[in-house]
Structures are given as C-alpha cells and as structure tokens.
Structure 1
C-alpha cells in the first residue's frame, strides 16, 4: 500500500530526512548552493544518490512555503511518513523509561521545538493524540530541526486510556502544573515515568489530570505567570538527562 506524501522545508529537516535510512524521500528541490552544502555536510556518502533532484531558484522554491511564511533556505523535499512505532511493543520489558505526553497541545511550532529538545536530551518517546498531531506540517518539521527523524512518536487515539494502560504497567504519571505542590527537581526520576504537559493556553484537561499520580511545577520568577510549553519541557528534559549522566558516572 502506498503511503501518502507531503512536503517539508529547511536545511536540517531535509538533510536529516535524507540521512535516515527508514525515511522514503521521493523528490528534493534545491538551489545550487543547497546542493553543494549537502555534499559538504555528507562527505562520506552521497545522500542524493537514489533521490530525484530538481534544481530551482530561491524564488521558485518560495511557492512551497509562501502559505506558511516559512524560510526554506533552498531546501524542499517530498517525503513519506515513517512507519509508526507501537507503544505496547516499545515499552515491553523496559525497566527505565521516560516518555512525554501532550494533552491538547496543537501548535506545530511548540510541538516541533519540544521534539527537538526531547531528542537532544534522550527522552524515549512522545505520546500525542493522533487527531491533534500536525504530522504533515512544514512548520512542525522546520521547528524540530531534523529531530523528527530521531524521536519515537506514538500517535494514540485516546490520551486518557493510554495513560490508564501505562499506569497498569507500572509507569508513574507526573502532571506539570504551575499549581503543583512540589518542584520537579525534588523528584528522584527513577524507573518508568510519564511527563504530562497540558495545552498552551488552557493547561491540562481536568479529566486527563485525574490520571496524574503527582503534580509538579517548575520554580520561576513569581512575577512571571508561566513559561512557553517547549521551554518548560526543555528545562525538564535537561534536568533528567543530567541526573541520568550522574548515575552512569557512579
């Protein structure tokens, strides 16, 4: 069965898609400068070898991103979706696992930035509602800066039932909320954990919040109401990565 295809834009998004052996890249549209840069960044392998390449001017490529008002940098690619990993299979027999779960988060820029941070700090995967995931958004791929190729993304039909099933498999669910009683840095972060973040504007839904075992917060300047979700997530991911490295050193 043929998969649907879509377009992505931007240097990092396109180059990482070309480097990923599991990603089918159908066509690439490049400026001459972009082609030279691809070869400079991949001196040991011709990542364009099995791909249809079309050379265009910057103005010709602008039509691919004019609706999103997005900078393409001379790189456009038509790609197919990756095979979706199965959450049930992924968590099987894992003793230590950290997954991030998004409830009602829909902004492609925020999701893409969060994916970039999650990949950078070795989070095991992202759980997101399938209907709310802008999986063909150029802005998502541009914001993720190539990291769509490096993170397990689990698209589920229902967040609440997914959390319920994970809790039954000994995962602890930590809801991030400014009203949380404990600072997230006070948690040991051992074993199997879910980091649950709510929407950009309205926070976590009450019904979903019922599946959280604990509510934790990020301590910030009391004069500031809140942080952007992707910034909040990056702070948390970095802290967890730091703790993990400390344990590895011991």
Structure 2
C-alpha cells in the first residue's frame, strides 16, 4: 500500500481513540445535523447555550486562538490538519480551521412573537448566500425573527451559516409549511404585513408603518408570488434614483429595514 492508498486518521484531542473525521459534503438535509464552519459561525454557536454541539474539528492554530481568546469549546475537539477540513467542505470554503457538527436550532411558533419591532418574511428565496446576508442584516437591525418556508428555502447550515457570520445564533428562524397561511396568522396577530414588489402602488417610505411590522421579500427575478402579494396588507416598492432600478434581494432587505426602523423610531 502506498501513501495515496492510505486513508487519513484523525486523532481526538487528549488521545482518546479514533474519530471518523469531519462530515463530508451533502450531509445538509433537514433531518441531519447543522454543519458550521468559519470563525464567526462556530464561535457564535459555541457561545449559544441553545445550540448543542455534537462534534468539533479544529486545526492547531484555531485551537490555540480559541484558547488565547478564552473561548470554551464545550466539548473535547478533534485536532486535524487544515487539508482534512478542506477535503470535507470543498476548496472554496473559507473555514479558518474550524468545523462543527451541531443539532439544528428549534423553530419557534408565530404566536410566540412579541407585539413590537420588525419581522422579515422570505418568499422562496433559495440562495444560501442571500439568506445568510439577510440574516446578518437582520441581526444588525434587531429583527425579532425571520419567517421562511420548509420547502424552497436553504437549510440553516453550511454556506448560509458562514454567510450569516454568526447571526444564525442571534435571529430565530420560524419555518412554516404554507406562507400565505402564515401571513394570515401574522395579520390576525396584529402585524402590518408589507410586501415589497416593483409593482407596488406606493414607495415603502410613503407607507405609514407601525409596529409590529412584517416586511415580506420575494426571490430575485420572480419576486413575490401572487398569493403572497394578495395576503399582504400593503404592497410597496423600493424606488431607486439611479439607472439601475432593482437591487439584489439582500441589499433590498437592508434598505427596507433601514426605512422601516427609521420610521418606527428604532434607530435611536
């Protein structure tokens, strides 16, 4: 047997037995564990008491940095060379020497939402980079929750978690089966549900907003689905003064949150 035929072995910290190594790509189903990588994603998960960490793989440098920053790993990590994490996540993943396998966070119920602040509702936004960026902005604006569908939305793991840069641990994600019914429930709970669509009759800045507010965003290209638009209390647009009139959905979310938070007096 030559060197290329040998399978890599992983030494668990403390020398207790062998480990099967980091999970391979593809283990991101709704029933499986959440795969978290990168400094902000993993350290935020370690700091979240609601997040159960199953396994933790670190490079020596990452383990040293965690120790220097006095960050509790909570479980005994497995120390591996960087290439082993590269092999599992792929060449484009910027993992910074940290990879964790964790239980998914629980999805709250809509009726657990408080009667203040802003909620974001995502209508079939499937790009994990966009959803992760929206989560990061949601955390910055103290959004109470993000509502999304069980189908036609990315899993809260992997690329999404990395793009969220730790915000996955800060903003609850409420997963629903039927978005129109969820919007009906938000209406019944007293939310002003405002759909953002280029065909809106007025600009978002002109809409008299109030708390609790739910801003509803659609996928790029297709926008809001007809039933989603019809279920919203108001449909408004974001007008751009420049030659390009549309924004990436994650950028549209930031602008909508800024307008909403400013009008509601939440920017103080």
Same fold (TM over 0.5): yes
Which residue of the other structure, out of 58, 61, 64, is the alignment partner of 1:33?
61
How many angstroms apart in 2 are the aligned matches of 1:29 and 1:122? 31
How big is the shift at 1:154?
0.4
Structure with higher helix content: 1
How many angstroms apart in 2 are the aligned matches of 1:208 and 1:243? 24
Instruction: Report the 3-state secondary structure (helix = DSSP H, G, I; strand = E; otherwise coil) of the residue aligned with 1:132.
Output: coil
1:21 counterpart = 2:49: yes
Instruction: Report the 3-state secondary structure (helix = DSSP H, G, I; strand = E; otherwise coil) of the residue aligned with 2:221.
Output: coil
How big is the shift at 1:246?
6.1
- Counterpart in 2 of 1:142? 162
Q: Is the 8 A contact 2:210 2:264 kept in 1?
A: no
How big is the shift at 1:166?
1.6
- Number of aligned residue pairs: 238
How big is the shift at 1:132?
2.6
Which residue of the other structure, out of 167, 181, 186, is the alignment partner of 1:161?
181
1:81 counterpart = 2:104: yes
How many angstroms apart in 1 are the aligned matches of 2:116 and 2:219? 27
Q: How does 1:72-111 map to 2 (within 5 A)?
A: 72-88=95-111, 90-91=112-113, 94-111=114-131
TM-score by length of 1: 0.88
TM-score by length of 2: 0.82
How many angstroms apart in 2 are the aligned matches of 1:86 and 1:40? 39
How big is the shift at 1:5?
1.9
- Counterpart in 2 of 1:172? 192
- Counterpart in 1 of 2:83? 59
Instruction: Report the 3-state secondary structure (helix = DSSP H, G, I; strand = E; otherwise coil) of the residue aligned with 2:151.
Output: helix
User: 5+ residue gaps in structure 2?
Assistant: 1-30
How many angstroms apart in 1 are the aligned matches of 2:264 and 2:227? 32
Which residue of the other structure, out of 181, 184, 197, is the alignment partner of 2:217?
197
User: 5+ residue gaps in structure 1?
Assistant: none
What are the superposed Cα offsets for residues 30-49 of structure 1, whole Å, 9 maximum, x if unpaired? Answer: 112212222344x3xx411x
